[in-house]
Amino acid sequence: MSAPLVATRPSATCRRATVSTPPGAGEAVVPVAGKAPGGARSRGSGPSGDRYPSVKPVTRHTAHSPRESATVNASPDHGTRAPEPPSILSKAFELLRAFNSNERVMTLSELSRASGLPKSTVHRLIARLIDLDAIEQHRSGYKLGLGLLELGATTPAAGMRDVAMPYLAALHRWSGQTVHLAVLRRYDVVYLEKLARADSPSSLSGVGARLPANCTAIGKALLAWENLEDLEAFLPSPMPMMTPHSITGVDELVTELRTVRTVGMAHERNEAQLGLACVATPLVVHEFAVGAISVAHRADTEAGQKIEHALHETAVQIAKEIREGLTHGRSHWFPREV
């Protein structure tokens, strides 16, 4: 089995695939362009310096970055400041986050229970959010509005997804396996794209899903390009566990990340979801992992060298196009200058 055919720049109009055909014969090997992401030198500064500052580390998994946690936990000499009451904006976001992939349409009572907000507050917020096109009425319930989709399509992450999509589609068609694109946010990975066959087993890695980075191959591929000394100090301990096979010890994870950084490829098996495995590699631009891609497969099978080779070459091509795009005003995609 040879690597996927992406010899020329694919069309940007490629649509998300849902069903792929099995690999066929006569496919050409993708030419390798640019520097391979594996084995780059370790950095003492960069994005990890922004994400993990030199303060006493927190020891629990929160939604705050270490910098934010240090600020929140700091107490003045005169005593602990009382927490500020939730703002109307924070309540609105709590209401919007009550929706999920299993509850796309919810009644007022369901939204009140899911958000923890009183019905009267939910009623007022819904009326205003409908005016803003953030929520729409759907029969006797409510759903997220298309205005949120329009906003999401303008994010830098969405721009990177547009660049990567044709290459991901080619890899998906050739391999017949589930393909992902994700970015790192604090200690989690957020999935920007997922291409799967109609008969693929269900998984937790849907578009927009957020999973602990330590439990996923794609998260390990991203963490491996951070400053590992900072990670040792600031990763929450113990780290989140999704299955009995998840790595929750910081020392054990950092040891594995050093190997990932050297070989340029990350693996996990039964760590995020029982029965599933994954292999991933980062998208490295100017020694910074702006994202990562992965190929998932059943845990009782092996990805194989051909899959890993194709994954690597796909990442090289995506990273090459991102680098070229930096000259066209796309530097705002990244947490720091590249």
Question: What pLDDT digit, counting tens, does each position of 214-260 carry?
Answer: 999 999 999 999 999 988 888 888 899 999 999 999 999 999 999 99
Q: Which residues pair with 180 in a beta bridge?
A: 194, 294
How many residues are listed for the chain in this entry? 338
For the stretch 289-325, pLDDT in tens is 999 999 999 898 888 899 999 999 999 999 999 888 7
Each residue of 199-230: b (16+ CB within 10 Å) or e?
A: ebeebebeeebebbbbbbbbbbbbbbbbbbeb
Within 10 angstroms of residue 10's Cβ, the number of other Cβ atoms is 17
> What pLDDT, on a 0 to 100 scale, did the predictor assign at position 164?
95
Is the pLDDT confidence value at 14 over 80?
Answer: no
Helix 156-175 vs helix 304-325: crossing angle, to nearest 10: 150
> What pLDDT, on a 0 to 100 scale, did the predictor assign at position 237?
84
Cα separation, 310 vs 277, whole angstroms: 17
**What structural domains and CATH numbers belong to the chain?**
1-74+155-338 (3.30.450.40), 88-151 (1.10.10.10)
Average pLDDT, the chain: 79
Cα separation, 255 vs 152, whole angstroms: 36
What phi and psi, each to the nearest 5 degrees, are found at residue 273?
-155, 130
Is the pLDDT confidence value at 54 over 70?
Answer: no
Please give the model's pTM, rounded to 2 decimal places: 0.71
Secondary structure class of 23 (helix, strand, coil): coil
Q: Which residues pair with 143 in a beta bridge?
A: 136
